[in-house]
Amino acid sequence: MTTASIPAAGGRRRQPTKLRRAVRRNVTAYGFLCGALICFAFFSWYPMVREVILSFQKTNFVDPPKWVGLENFRTVVNDPAFGPAWVNTAVFTMLALLCGYGIPFVTAIVLNELRHARAYLRFVVYLPVMLPPAVSVLLFQWFYNPDYGLFNQVLDLFHLPGLQWLNSTSTALISLVIVSTWMNMGSGTLIYLAALQTIPSELYEAAELDGAGLFKRIWHVTIPQTKLILLVMLLLQIVATMQVFIEPYLLTGGGPENATVSVVYLMYQYAFNFGNLNAGNALGLMLMIVLMVFSAIYLRVSRDNTV
């Protein structure tokens, strides 16, 4: 009787042993995965879900919240600054894309072609990124000063009239674009430079043997070989520039005449100056939907082109 029960008892012991071994083998991976999921859930997903809920509520965080449907959205849409905020954000994004996307790529190509002082020039290009954004913005506030600013002094050297950089509706937004481009140029340049250095030199040598000049080498070798990183940087830059805030917040306060008010700045105004946090959440939800739709379309189009 005892010999017949031994295999059954042994068989029962083997199953938990295999399971235990599998858990031990993967417990580290599951631990890292759970940590990442908890961080994402707490710091990214929960704020987004909370924003969606708050955009349909009216609350002061003391009394119980009240569901108000689309009232917060109507409040935001009827604001006179709503239209200019979206227009300014779109124009800022296009201008920042023209300057902040092309200039770092060209700079990276030039640095990649240099044979001397390459490390020093990389440091110089990356230096603005190491400055805190607020410091960079306040530095440009001095540059833009119409009385003693650096830019008007340069114009004066060429006997040109000075400009009201931040006080004129025609120059205020482009002034913010210049600040943004200067602050972010270093990181973009280094990313492009890293991508350029992965291109095999044999491709350039073959192009030179075929008689290709500099621009043909860039068009037929550099751009195709860095196409993936260019597409990724394009998406990241558009998403980042559409959330412009610190430049109008510190330099212009949205003025003059709402010429530099952006969507995120208007969101800040509702949340912290107008005392209407729910309307700010409604505006944030609109911006999030716009960025999600744009990202989905962009990824679909770029995937079709890269396959």
pLDDT, tens only, 188-197? 888 888 888 8
Task: Report which of residues 60 and 88 the model is more confident about.
Answer: 88
Query: Considering only 56-70, 113-127, 206-220, 237-251, which range has the smallest mean pLDDT?
Result: 113-127
Residues contacting residue 190 through CB under 8 Å, at least 6 positions apart:
108, 122, 125, 126
For residues 179 and 140, the answer to whether their CB atoms sit within 8 Å is yes
Give residue 200's pLDDT band: very low, low, confident or very high (50, 70, 90).
confident
In the predicted structure, residue 6 carries a pLDDT above the cut 80: no
* CA 196 to centroid of chain Cα atoms: 22
* pTM assigned to the model: 0.82
pLDDT at 307: 54
In the predicted structure, residue 214 carries a pLDDT above the cut 70: yes
For residues 141 and 152, the answer to whether their CB atoms sit within 8 Å is no
pLDDT at 91: 94
Average pLDDT over every residue of 96-123: 82
Residues contacting residue 131 through CB under 8 Å, at least 6 positions apart:
139, 183
* Partners of 66 in the β-ladder: 58
Residue 67: phi and psi, rounded to 5, are: -75, 130
Average pLDDT over every residue of 283-305: 86
In the predicted structure, residue 50 carries a pLDDT above the cut 80: yes
Task: Report which of residues 162 and 17 the model is more confident about.
Answer: 162
pLDDT at 38: 93
In the predicted structure, residue 164 carries a pLDDT above the cut 70: yes
Percent of the chain having pLDDT more than 90? 32
Percent of the chain having pLDDT more than 70? 93
